Amino acid sequence: MYSWGSIAVMETNRRKLLQLLAGAPLLAALPTPAFATSSTGDQLLIASAADDAQGNHWLIAMNEMGEERLRHPLPDRAHHVAAHPNRPLLAVVARRPGYYIDLVASDTGELVRRIEPQEGRHFYGHAIFTPDGQGLLATEMDVASGQGRVTLRSLDQAGAPSKDMSSGGIGPHELLLAPDQRTLIVANGGILTDGRDKLNIETMQPSLAYIDLESGEITEQRFLAEQDHQLSIRHMDVNALGEVIIALQYQGDLDDDKALVALHRRGQQIKLLRAPDAVNREMTQYCGSARFDNSGRIAAVSAPRGNLITFWDMETDSFLTSMRATDGCGLAATSEDASFIASTGRGNCYALYPLEDYREAMMLPPGLSSLAWDNHMAIKALTS
């Protein structure tokens, strides 16, 4: 059962609405000071790391109107942003090899705490808050052994992590919490790195690991078939049924034409999902980010090098459609079914409605449209 029925074209005429709005003189005349609070209050907070044209790195947050709400300077390029489940708090994680995670108050812009890895460790670009909001889980590399780790830190206590578990492989990247709220899902990319150099492309063994958060034990681990071992498992999302959609990155020959998306259901093998040939080629062997929509039935997988966002149907385990977004990587689901927001390295943000084949550019002020949005986006509903 899905929260919406069949895949049918939804009848919304946004173009017409746009024309109506554009014709409204009162609205058109309204000024938009950058930090004004709209009378109804913000409904969404959209957060992402970004670089500006000068090469500075920022954590940026804006509301659904494209009004800037936060601009926090970062010491180095960042990757993932996580939103706290019940506090106005964001965690922004340094790009791998990463040496900071900043906890930033999204309402005041204050840097609450900068977490640094322990000696001999670095972060791998992703972290998530625990469901109770008390802790932060992060993927790390133990440099000496080359092995992946997942650590748990209390938000309120500095110092060593309270838990330090094996990730089950090399190069752990994105991590998620399963719907049971006690199982961690970790994408072990499989690539041994020195800085950003890749050392083991010929022998890499990516995997998807399910780890019991309490005991640290791996309860299920899935590898790809031998001929697909160079498909790095790095980014993914999980829906309420526990289905995991995976965005793959191929490390093998440029000639090869491998499936670049995969799906996993507990107890089964990882299932590769292939786009139609022309689309698969266009994806250029590289997917950057994966997110389910609000219903959990449609998955969006970005292919930034191919300038495409692809969409997949979990009911039929198959490709639905694709939409163009130049250098588009960051993805987030809106509260509407079959609707996403995508961000790009060229400063654009789009609302995407794949079932209607409709893309709407968020009109951002120059201060935001001149940014290169980094790979991942977080979206948080504000209840005020």
Partner 1 sequence: MNRSKQTGLIPVITGAGAMFLLSGVLHSQIATANDVDWSSYNRETIEQDILPAYARFAEQTEALQSTTAALCSAADAEHLQQAQDAFIAAQNAWQGISAVQFGPVQFLMRNYSIQYWPDRKSIGRRQLQSTLQMPADTQFDQEFFHQASVSIKGFPALEQLLFSEDALDKLNREGVDCRLTAAIATNVNEMAQGIYSDWQSSSEEMLSQESSSDDDEESSSDVPELSVNLMKSLVEPIELIRDTKLLAVLGRGAEATYPHRAESWLSEQSLANIRTNLDAAHALYTGESAGLDQMLRAQGHGEIADQIEADFAQLNKELEPLGDSLVAALETHYDELKTLTASLRKLDESLNSAMQVLGVQLGFNSRDGD
Residue 351 interacts with partner 1 (CB under 8 A)?
Answer: yes
Among 65, 105, 111, 272, binds partner 1 (CB under 8 A): 65
Cβ(209)–Cβ(149) below 8 Å: no
Q: Residue 343 carries which side chain, given as an amino acid letter?
A: S
Encode the chain in three state secondary structure.
Answer: CCCCCCCCCCCCCHHHHHHHHHCCHHHHHCCCCCCCCCCCCCCEEEEEEEECCCCCEEEEEECCCCCEEEEEEECCCEEEEEECCCCCEEEEEECCCECCEEEEECCCCCEEEEECCCCCEEEEEEEEECCCCCEEEEEEEECCCCCEEEEEEECCCCCCCCEEEECCCCCEEEEEECCCCCEEEEEECCCCEECCEECCCCCCCCEEEEEECCCCCEEEEEECCHHHCCEEEEEEEECCCCCEEEEEEECCCCCCCCCCEEEECCCCCCEEECCCHHHHHHCCCECCEEEECCCCCEEEEEEHHHCEEEEEECCCCEEEEEEECCCEEEEEECCCCCCEEEEECCCCEEEEEHHHCEEEECCCCHHHHCCEEEEEEEEEECCC
Can you tell me which of 5, 6, 39, 54 binds partner 1, judged by CB under 8 A?
54
Single out the residue of 123, 244, 327, 331 in contact with partner 1 (rule: CB under 8 A): 327
The 131-170 contact track toward partner 1, x by CB under 8 A, reads ----------------------------------------
Positions 179 through 218 that interact with partner 1 (CB under 8 A): 179, 181
Which stretch, 111-119, 216-224, 264-272, 354-362, contacts partner 1 (CB under 8 A)? 354-362
Q: Which is nearer to partner 1, 59 or 218 (CB)?
A: 59
Q: Pick from 79, 121, 153, 264: which binds partner 1 (CB under 8 A)? A: 79
Q: Does 340 sit near partner 1 (CB under 8 A)?
A: no
The residue assigned the tokens 């999204």 is 106
- Out of 41, 73, 75, 85, the residue judged to bind partner 1 by CB under 8 A: 85
**With binding defined as CB under 8 A, does residue 353 bind partner 1?**
yes
Q: What residues between 17 and 46 interact with partner 1 by CB under 8 A?
A: 17-18, 21-22, 24, 27-32, 43-44
Q: Which is nearer to partner 1, 33 or 159 (CB)?
A: 33
Determine, following the binding rule CB under 8 A, whether residue 258 of this chain makes contact with partner 1: no
Q: Is 121 in the site for partner 1 (CB under 8 A)?
A: no
Taking the complex as a whole, the smallest distance from the CB of residue 98 to partner 1 amounts, in Å, to 10
The piece of 136-144, 147-155, 235-243, 263-271 that touches partner 1 (CB under 8 A) is 235-243
Is residue 370 near partner 1 by the rule CB under 8 A? Answer: yes
Map residues 300-319 to x or -, x wherever contact with partner 1 holds by CB under 8 A. Answer: ----xx--------x-----
Binding residues among 88-117 for partner 1 as defined by CB under 8 A: 95-96
Pick from 239, 280, 310, 322 the residue near partner 1 by CB under 8 A: 239
